Amino acid sequence: MFSAFSAAPKPMEHSELQALVRDQIIQEAGVDFESRPILAMYSCFFPDPRAANYDDLLKLLLQRLDEVVESDYVLVFFAAGSQYQPGWSFLYRAYSLLGRKYRKNLKSMFIVHPSLWPRLIIQGMGAVVSPKFARKLVWVYSLAQLGGSVPLKQLHVPEAVLAVDAKSSSGKVSMEKLPPDTSSVFGKPLEEIMGLNGEEGLPRVVTDCIEYIRKDGMNVEGIFRRSPASQQLQAAKRAYQTAESTYDLQASGDVHLACVLLKTFFRDLPNPVFSAAMYDTIRGIQSLPTDSARLSYTKNTILPLLPRPTYLLLEATFALLHDIHANSSTNLMTSTNLTIVWAPNLVRSDNPIADFSMGAMGAQSGGAGNVIRICIERFEEVFE
């Protein structure tokens, strides 16, 4: 079932295997160019099967996936550098245990540096892998090619993968690039769009998205968790080339397009809402004992650090998210769910691991998750 190896190592404790899955084998890597969460999986960190129970490993991998599969997501599987390669039977069990939500919400699976082993395995599973699932598989032969589909700087790339890439990248593989984005709105500093004090008002794309979502999206189950067609998103972005755009967003008939456009606008900002320079201040919220104290800290210490245009943009967006949260009995998007979806678009630095910790929920997180949740739940008190 696995490649040959030497003397048997010490058996791994369940807690050790759990930590290996959480910290190394599967890692969050921000969002892709369409604001969908990215999960990266690394075969080079797979443990020796004589030391680890691979049935337990499979269960832990699925539990890790459970944290993101409620919404659309992409998976980047780094196949290079693997010493222990699971065979057909392991992958068959893994595919069989992947429920409908895992397969449906997976938009793309990029298999990076595929050797003969994964290609043969996938071909051998052809009888059980559905054609729809197979179409989601993208074979990627270099990191440069991968960079055309997901932001490379958000991914942790182990030395073993870099070594394989250095040997295999010969320029023979054509680069898969996204269509050039000629937008003068997306990726532009807010001060240039809105004025230094926000006197020019919110960007048209933002107001259009908020208006459309309020009209047709408040009771849509899983709002902000679905994605439109990539071609439709790119067309809409190109249509909003200038602040004078007359593009009719509601004519698209897809409220999920408005949701992704709004998230993409935030993700593309050259200066993120919660930048690395604010991380130390944001962490201060974690030591406060009550939500009332956290609310006061958010309102009086964190938000005043933001430029006026950023503050106004957040105010309009959190007003929308607050109302969506108020309708969570029908749309199932509570403040916690909305925080999980939105944090990767608001928290960004050069360290994706620090960003994930900062945006996560819970006592051990960096704090931005709590800031976002409080802004959603208690919007009127925060932004009064």
User: Could you tell me which of 302, 287, 284, 276 has the C-alpha nearest to residue 355?
Assistant: 276
On whether both 129 and 37 belong to a single domain, the answer is yes
On whether both 326 and 377 belong to a single domain, the answer is yes
Q: What is the CATH number of the domain that holds 300?
A: 1.10.555.10
Report the C-alpha gap between 259 and 206 in whole angstroms. Answer: 10
DSSP state of 108: E
SS3 at position 56: helix
On whether both 95 and 216 belong to a single domain, the answer is no
The alpha carbon dihedral of 101, 103, 106, 111 has a sign of: positive
Answer whether residue 178 is part of any domain: no
Domain that holds residue 282: 190-382
pLDDT for residue 214? 96
On whether both 119 and 215 belong to a single domain, the answer is no
Task: Give the DSSP H/E element, type plus range, for residue 190.
Answer: helix 190-194
User: Could you tell me which of 45, 51, 48, 49 has the C-alpha nearest to residue 64?
Assistant: 45
Answer whether residue 185 is part of any domain: no
pLDDT for residue 303? 96
Answer whether residue 43 is part of any domain: yes
On whether both 288 and 255 belong to a single domain, the answer is yes
Answer whether residue 218 is part of any domain: yes
Q: Who contacts 352 (Cβ-Cβ below 8 Å, separation ≥6)?
A: 27, 28, 29, 30, 153, 154, 155, 156
pLDDT for residue 178? 42
Q: Phi and psi for 30 in degrees, rounded to 5?
A: 70, -145
Per the CB < 8 A criterion, the answer to whether 105 and 71 are in contact is yes
Q: Phi and psi for 330 in degrees, rounded to 5?
A: -105, -40
Answer whether residue 130 is part of any domain: yes
On whether both 296 and 343 belong to a single domain, the answer is yes
Structure tokens at 10: 């010490």
Report the C-alpha gap between 297 and 340 in whole angstroms. Answer: 21
Q: How many CA atoms lie within 13 A of 368 on its CB side?
A: 26
Q: Phi and psi for 35 in degrees, rounded to 5?
A: 65, 30
H-only helix segments in 240-351: 255-268, 279-283, 291-297, 308-326, 328-331, 335-346
Mean pLDDT of residues grouped by 10 in the chain (384 residues)?
A: 58 88 87 88 88 85 78 88 71 70 84 74 56 82 90 88 81 40 76 92 94 96 90 89 75 94 94 94 93 95 96 97 97 95 91 84 82 96 92
On whether both 259 and 365 belong to a single domain, the answer is yes
Q: Which of 168, 199, 233 is the last residue of a domain?
A: 168
On whether both 121 and 89 belong to a single domain, the answer is yes
Q: Give the angle subtended at the CA of 175 by the CAs of 169 and 176, to the nearest 5°.
A: 135
Token pair 């004992």 is found at 289
pLDDT for residue 230? 85
Answer whether residue 3 is part of any domain: no
Please state the domain count of the chain: 2
Cα 267 to chain centroid distance, Å, stands at 11
Q: Which of 168, 198, 218 is the last residue of a domain?
A: 168
On whether both 145 and 218 belong to a single domain, the answer is no
On whether both 42 and 149 belong to a single domain, the answer is yes
Q: What is the CATH number of the domain that holds 33?
A: 3.40.525.10
pLDDT for residue 242? 65
Per the CB < 8 A criterion, the answer to whether 188 and 67 are in contact is no
Q: How many CA atoms lie within 13 A of 268 on its CB side?
A: 17
Q: Which of 134, 168, 202 is the last residue of a domain?
A: 168
Q: Phi and psi for 74 in degrees, rounded to 5?
A: -125, 150
On whether both 164 and 197 belong to a single domain, the answer is no
Report the C-alpha gap between 30 and 263 in whole angstroms. Answer: 13
Angle, helix 255-268 to helix 230-239, in steps of 10 degrees: 70
On whether both 148 and 45 belong to a single domain, the answer is yes
Token pair 């909305």 is found at 338
Output b/e per residue, 343-362; b: 16+ Cβ within 10 A: bbbbbbbeebeebbbbbbbe
